[in-house]
Amino acid sequence: RKEVEQDPGPFNVPEGATVAFNCTYSNSASQSFFWYRQDCRKEPKLLMSVYSSGNEDGRFTAQLNRASQYISLLIRESKLSDSATYLCVGGGGSARQLTFGSGTQLTVLP
């Protein structure tokens, strides 16, 4: 079983729609969690950190449930520019290394 699992999609949604991504993790050594965004053939970039209290950054809302080992990302009013692969990531270990899920591909359609 992978340490971080997420639905690979693809998710194809119309512009303006709300889309939710879910992720589960099994490695209790992961202490911190993040969502990264990766455009085609580009490097991953940090989208936002994820906290148990939930956090919001504009149209993006992330939530962590440690008891269920579950992480979510909600994108409201999706834009064409949101099209990318979204990676669920756990951080931990002595080197604070990142453990990535396989990614969920999102395409926002005009």
In the complex, what is the shortest distance from the CB of residue 66 to another protein, in angstroms, rounded to a whole number? 17
Among residues 60 and 100, whose Cβ is nearest to another protein? 100
The answer to whether residue 9 forms part of the interface with another protein (CB under 8 A) is: no
Count of residues touching another protein (by CB under 8 A): 24
The answer to whether residue 1 forms part of the interface with another protein (CB under 8 A) is: no
The answer to whether residue 17 forms part of the interface with another protein (CB under 8 A) is: no
Among residues 22 and 91, whose Cβ is nearest to another protein? 91
Strand partners, 4: 25
In the complex, what is the shortest distance from the CB of residue 91 to another protein, in angstroms, rounded to a whole number? 5
The label of the residue with tokens 């303006």 reads 16
Task: With beta carbons less than 8 A apart as the criterion, state whether 99 and 44 touch.
Answer: no
Nearest to 35 by CA among 54, 17, 16, 18: 54
Angle formed at CA 67 by CA 60 and CA 73, multiple of 5 degrees: 15
* Of the residues 82, 99, 106, 108, which one makes contact with another protein according to CB under 8 A: 99
Angle formed at CA 52 by CA 48 and CA 55, multiple of 5 degrees: 40
In the complex, what is the shortest distance from the CB of residue 37 to another protein, in angstroms, rounded to a whole number? 11
